[in-house]
Amino acid sequence: MTPRPIEIIGGGLAGLALGCALRREGVEVTLHEAGDYPRHRVCGEFIAGLRPATIARLGLGPMLAGAIEHRRVAWFLRNAPPHSHTLPAPAIALSRFALDARLAATFTALGGDLRLRSRVAAVEPRAGRVFATGRRRQTASPWLGLKLHAHGLSLAQDLEMHLGENCYVGLARIEDGGVNVCGLFRRGLAAGTGATLLLNCLRAAGLAALADRIARARIDPASVCAVAGVAFDRRPPPTTRLCLGDTLAMIPPFTGNGMAMAFQSAELALAPLLAYARGTAPWAEALRAAQRAQRNKFRMRLVSADALHPFLLGRRRQRWLAALGRARLLPFRPLFAALH
């Protein structure tokens, strides 16, 4: 065991992946998670930009077993015929129900101390403490995330992206023949609860044909979840805190890169944290090294994603984007590279 322990607050992808990697190096790790596993999360469950080096460094291979590979995307602007293209690099999809539970089981099997239903309130930063508590909520944010799993739903391509009035929705095949339906909607678009809220939002956003397709499929009621207050806060976290994943910065979901960023932020923090845990670097040095690496890796990616995001949401900009796509003038490859 190394001389200095690490404490992680938040057992989502970032916290658990870091915890597993540290345990493999013999570091004593305690991880506090407010919830339990397995459980459904609001997430498109489509992972783009996760590189083999990150999978290897964090030992994620077995956890991603059974993930579905995606290559073709069909874009739909309201009910117009789709525009399809091939992703410059294949992406994968796997439910968070499976992925988070596998990571948690691995962390425990590696000897990590996992404290479930342990919501840590108002903790101050201190040496060896890592914050991976997920997105920073803003109650005033106009954005609402909704997700469900459906069976018996055939897709035009591996992945469908639908642009509606003040919303976008992705459909991705996941393991066991299911389809993830997940969207970002402007709050107050429609009323309802559970799957009905998602279907009502789609209809209110001009996506009635999609709502009818989903309504005809077999919806798993246990998979339906919602999250309000989704915000893309670009203020850097306090320099005294080592933050990972969405706590560091949340990239707009259309990129399908939030999960990869959660893993990459853990990967970038790993070497500095190992130096601290082994007693070869003071905490302040480890903190600065991790923050510098994260800034260098993510700054331009976030700027690019924020610049593109409004084009997926407003009617006029969506039309402009669709026209460029039809004319084959959208530079998919450079855009994909900038966003991942």
CB of 37 to ligand FAD, least distance (A): 9
Q: Are 257 and 251 in contact (CB under 8 A)?
A: yes
CB of 241 to ligand FAD, least distance (A): 13
Q: Are 114 and 32 in contact (CB under 8 A)?
A: no
> Which helix H or strand E contains 98, and what residues bound it?
helix 96-109
User: Which CB, 84 or 141, lies closer to ligand FAD?
Assistant: 141
Alpha-carbon distance of 274 to 24, in angstroms, equals 11
Residue 291's nearest CA partner among 274, 268, 271, 258 is 268
The first and second tokens of residue 300, run together, are 């331009």
CB of 327 to ligand FAD, least distance (A): 27
Contact residues: ligand FAD, CB under 6 A: 9-15, 32-35, 42-47, 119-120, 132-134, 145, 182, 184, 227, 230, 245-246, 250, 253, 256-260, 262
User: Which CB, 20 or 259, lies closer to ligand FAD?
Assistant: 259
Question: Is 190 in a helix, a strand, or coil?
Answer: coil
CB of 248 to ligand FAD, least distance (A): 8
Residue type, 297: K
CB of 279 to ligand FAD, least distance (A): 27
User: Which CB, 35 or 125, lies closer to ligand FAD?
Assistant: 35
What torsion do the CA atoms of 144, 97, 7, 106 make, to the nearest 10 degrees? -160
Closest residue to ligand FAD, based on beta-carbon distance: 12
User: Which CB, 41 or 281, lies closer to ligand FAD?
Assistant: 41
- The CA radius of gyration of the chain, in Å to the nearest whole number, is 20
User: Which CB, 22 or 281, lies closer to ligand FAD?
Assistant: 22
Name the residue with tokens 């130096």. 275
